[in-house]
Amino acid sequence: MKWQALRAAAVLGMSGLLVTGCSDSGGAKPSDRPRAATASAASSSAPSAEPVSAKAEAAEKVKLAVEKRISADERKFGSGVNSPCSTSSPRMFTAPCKAAADATSDAAGLALTEIDGRQGFATLDSVARKLQAAVRTYQTLGCATEPTAADTRTACLEPAAVIAQGFTDLRDGANAGLAGR
């Protein structure tokens, strides 16, 4: 299959030479040939220096600030199934999850501060607010104090799962901001 593609490219290349006329018919010297076509082709292929829009610049600034914070916290606390707040983690009802929850809430707060008043960050805004609400619920329920009541432990599962996934969701939200979503 690879050879067929190479062969097809070679045939197309040879066809191009035949169509454009590679012979020196009429004895004309290369310097006698018209150059207008090459000059216009060169000018149209020059890279355009389009200015970066203010929106794109703002999105990049938000992305960099949020990513820096997320990366540092993610190295410290982990994320997803590696988070102490993972619903499969024995640390979900302990101080390490509370510390991860606080860091996640702070990262969400940073994201909200960075996007304050800017359009094109609906996903990041939504994710950050959802994370902060999950952290408040986790704290209000006393999930980090190893509750013994079954209904409280069950109620802690949902906010803990949101917190465990928080850094990844914030990163996805910041990436969506680059696309204006």
Number of domains into which the chain is organized = 1
Query: Domain for residue 39, yes or no?
Result: no
Considering the domain boundaries, does residue 154 fall inside one?
yes
Domain assignment present for 4: no
Q: pLDDT tens, 113-149?
A: 999 878 889 999 999 999 999 999 999 999 999 999 9
| Domain-embedded: residue 49 | no
Check residue 39 and give its pLDDT. Answer: 45
In a domain, 117, yes or no: yes
Examine residue 8 and state whether it is found in any structural domain, yes or no. no
**Structure-token pair, residue 101:** 């929850």
Q: Which two tokens stand for residue 154?
A: 């069950």
Q: Which residue has the higher pLDDT, 32 or 105?
A: 105
Q: Identify whether 32 is part of a domain.
A: no
Q: Which domain does 89 fall in, by range?
A: 54-178
Q: What is the pTM of this model?
A: 0.69
Residue at 43 is within a domain: no
What pLDDT sits at residue 19?
A: 40
Q: pLDDT band for position 162 (50/70/90)?
A: very high
In this predicted structure, what is the pLDDT of residue 51?
56
